[in-house]
Amino acid sequence: MSGHLRELIVDLDAITANTQVLVSRSGSAGVMAVVKADAYGHGLVPSARAAIAGGAQWLGVALLDEALALRAGGIEDPVLAWLVGRGEPWAEALTRSIDLSVSDVWVLDDITAAARELGRVARVHLKVDSGLGRSGAPVGDWPALVDAARKAELDGIIVVVGVWSHLAYADAPGHPTIDRQLEVFQNAVDIAERAGLQPEVRHLANSAATLTRPDTHFDLTRPGLAVYGLSPLRDAPAASLGLLPAMSLQARLTLVKRVPAGHGVSYMHRYVTNRETTLGLVPLGYADGVPRNSTNVGPVQVGGRRRTIAGVVCMDQFVVDLGDDPLAIGDVVSLFGPGNSGEPTAQDWADATGTISYEIVTRMGPRIARRYLGGAES
């Protein structure tokens, strides 16, 4: 760890290696690495470059601003943005050759109006709601959306690059919803093709389906979590899938002090020492993304030993009971990492706090210094 009091370390070579695993598991399909939400907290542009180095041919983001940030960072590979609303900067998106998802005719109308004004051809991916119940055209509205897109394509205003959807239950590979969604999606593709559309890519598979359901791969897989080395499957550790977690979170003890037995710790004294002991202060709190509900359960490693947060997690800090171990100000506290040295993993934190590893890594705050290892950023 460097001299920072708190530090988030991202191993870009791990992202590259994880992407290579996903490329190999995708068979003949290409890979769209999902880098939304600041690449799941790992850093948008550096992580995107690392994924491309691993063989990803496309990048996927939620927000148009994220796609524009990739372009501003010098990345010119195909990028799809899928969470769009009224008043988006369509002209800038078209000028920067960003692919846009379309779930409704109004989106198509807004995009085609911007394309006409600019004299450019918009690249769109039509999305069908195959059963997740979020974005995507309902099955009953799909033929009308397809017909409108085909008309705009014949007018030379758009090109339908893709048809896509998203799975609800892929983390349980045998769940019956997967087969049902697969059938709905295939029917939607058939309707589009019968209408004269010839999409370049059909894509449905997320991380879990990329690893377990080759029948969902079509032309392009769309892994997100697995790119960063975290397992998308309920009963399969990352290592069993050939994945290496890329993010580590560390801090340094800023205070070490002896206290007597019966000493209350942090707000509401939800931890009370049962003997004379040493307390260590860690300068990370819920403002930095440490879950407040990790009070008395959050795992950390200090001095080569696993320990648990003692007392309530505060906005800027928490406490660890160090017992009688000879630890000092400046010693490193590992909250999570790959687990290779016995430190907790993001999945350990998720299990302890009743959430998912996605939330643990994406919630890390801007006060934490970032350091990149490997890739072009080191």
Domain parsing of the chain, residue ranges = 12-227, 247-373
The pLDDT score that the predictor gives to residue 355 is 97
Give the whole-angstrom CA distance, residue 352 versus residue 347. Answer: 8
The pLDDT of residue 374 is 95
Fold of domain 247-373: Lyase, Ornithine Decarboxylase; Chain A, domain 1 (2.40.37)
Using a 10 angstrom Cβ sphere, with 0-12 exposed, 13-18 middle and 19 or more buried, the burial of residue 333 is buried
Pick the CATH number of 12-227 from 3.20.20.20, 3.40.50.920, 3.30.499.10, 3.20.20.10: 3.20.20.10
Q: If we measure between CA atoms, which residue out of 41, 80, 76, 46 comes closest to residue 63?
A: 80
Neighbours of 324 (CB within 10 A): 10
Q: Which residue, 372, 367, 347, is CA-closest to 358? A: 347
What integer pLDDT is reported at residue 376 of this predicted model? 67
Dihedral-angle region of residue 201 (phi above 0 means left; psi in -120 to 50 means alpha; beta otherwise): beta
Written as one letter, the residue type at 58 is: W
Return the CA Rg of the chain: 24
Each residue's pLDDT tens digit in the chain (378 positions)? Answer: 777 899 999 999 999 999 999 999 999 999 999 999 999 999 999 999 999 999 999 999 999 999 999 999 999 999 999 999 999 999 999 999 999 999 999 999 999 999 999 999 999 999 999 999 999 999 999 999 999 999 999 999 999 999 999 999 999 999 999 999 999 999 999 999 999 999 999 999 999 999 999 999 999 999 999 999 999 998 899 999 999 999 999 999 999 999 999 999 999 999 999 999 999 999 999 999 999 999 999 999 999 999 999 999 999 999 999 999 999 999 999 999 999 999 999 999 999 999 999 999 999 999 999 999 998 654
Q: What does the pLDDT read at residue 377?
A: 54
Please identify every residue annotated as catalytic: 36, 267
pLDDT of residue 378: 47
CA 185 – CA 216 distance, rounded (Å): 10
